[in-house]
Amino acid sequence: MQSTADSFEFNGYRITPDKQTVFFDYRLIASGKQAEEFVEAVKLPAPLPSSVPGALVSKILESLHLVLGVSYWKLLCPKKIKLSSVSLSSDQAEFWNTVYTKGLGEFFFRNRIDFRGLVNFPYSGDIVSKPINFVCRDRSLVGIGGGKDSLVSTELLKEKKLPITGLALKPGSAMIIGEDFKKELGIEVITLERILSPQLLRLKGTYKGHVPVSAIYAFLGLLTAVIYDYRYFIASNEYSASFGNVEYLGQQINHQWSKSLEFELMFQDYVKKYITPDVGYFSLLRPLSEIKIVSLFVRYRKYLSHFTSCNRNFSSTNPLPPGKKWCGECPKCAFMFALLSAFLPKKDLIGIFGRNLFADKNLTRVYQDLLGFGSIKPFDCVGTFEETQAAFYLAWQKKEFFGDPVMKAFEAEILPKIKDIGLIETKAFEVHNVNNMPSRFFSALPL
């Protein structure tokens, strides 16, 4: 599909009189058509406090305006971008060019869009944007997604007796974190609500696809940390998130780019240079692989009936039936079943997923992709081929899944092709030297 859009405009934001809702305005102008207006809203759990400098709030909301806009710009991908309420320096514009280009990598690949030179945020050579100092209380806000990663982070920080509060998003994790879940967490949870523009789903003849949602969460977390007085916003992105899926037009395409170390470092630098040096962002689990995190997660058995990683929990077009947490069909479900199979008894796995996924012949091809012997690494938040191989090997050694079609295929077709499975297993559990956080947080990790 050829883009028919002339331009995309960021038309500012508005704060309601009660200071509890922010509206973000956008306009998409397409050739020969009436301009489409979009309004996204973010609802805060409490009014914006007067104690926070207005200039600092403005800086964060301006950045949030730009990152939320990715959902609307991608509808037609116009080359011309207009900013009516904010001016960027050359370096700032380059940051946003990268966030859109790499964050939408999967989207460009799937829609066969040539992204080279496509994203060009305007800038002014004489703009000097300075950060604002603002001292917050020495406590942390932890993103709670309802999956294993944020739960492991929460428990590790609690064990270290560090002061933390959870942040859940609605729609999103807040939809699956009920009162029973909160009781198990044992911490206060703040809920932030994001309301997409209704026009987003109504428009016909537009591109569809994945957006860098973790980049959006990072800016929402920054906003919440600043206005409610937290020194840190802590994510739970793992080492494995930095590995891509496929190369396209000379660029590595990574479904998880906004969860990668590259984005984390970019975001830290941008916030420190242009917003505030006094609120930190980092991923507690960055040194750990997916399989290492799962080996920690299974210690906290109280969460086994509550957690979920299936993306259909957050789907507006294909949601799971009420009361169901796993579809049992997608690559994410298949991957999580495989990793958990290395550590949990078969009966526990069936209790979590509702059935034995290794008994499903229809998932054989998905598992081939996850193991690195298929067509492509699935576009989902899954670990490396080596981690999946190590998990399968550990499950195979337990002999509980002998006779199941998926495990039979692994034993007959995959295992003989894997060279030095012992070394792969060792490397899969390795703790990596990517310490990007204050030492007291790093010491919370069981190394």
At 172 the pLDDT is: 62
pLDDT at 283 over 60: yes
Please tell me the distance from the alpha carbon of residue 186 to that of residue 158, in angstroms, as a whole number. Answer: 9
Share of the chain above pLDDT 90, in %: 86
At 176 the pLDDT is: 63
Please tell me the distance from the alpha carbon of residue 318 to that of residue 7, in angstroms, as a whole number. Answer: 31
- What are the tokens at 424? 């792969």
At 4 the pLDDT is: 67
Closest CA to 103 of 276, 275, 264, 311: 264
Give the angle 171-175-181 at the CA atoms, nearest 5°. Answer: 145
pLDDT at 319 over 90: no
Q: What integer best gives the mean pLDDT of the chain?
A: 94
Tell me the average pLDDT across 246-250.
Answer: 97
Q: pLDDT tier at 31 (50, 70, 90 boundaries)?
A: confident
Considering the entire predicted model, what is its pTM? 0.95
- Kindly report, residue by residue over 121-152, the tens digit of the pLDDT: 999 988 889 999 999 999 999 999 889 999 99
| Distance in angstroms between the alpha carbons of the first and the last residue of the chain | 50
Domain residue spans of the chain: 5-134+192-283, 290-428
pLDDT at 2 over 60: no
At 180 the pLDDT is: 79
At 3 the pLDDT is: 60
At 81 the pLDDT is: 98
Please tell me the distance from the alpha carbon of residue 143 to that of residue 153, in angstroms, as a whole number. Answer: 9
Lowest mean pLDDT among 43-47, 75-79, 170-174, 423-427: 170-174
pLDDT at 33 over 80: no
- Kindly report, residue by residue over 222-243, the tens digit of the pLDDT: 999 999 999 999 999 999 999 9
pLDDT at 401 over 90: yes
Tell me the average pLDDT across 368-379.
Answer: 97
Indicate the angle between helix axes 290-297 and 385-398, nearest 10 degrees: 40
Q: pLDDT tier at 174 (50, 70, 90 boundaries)?
A: low
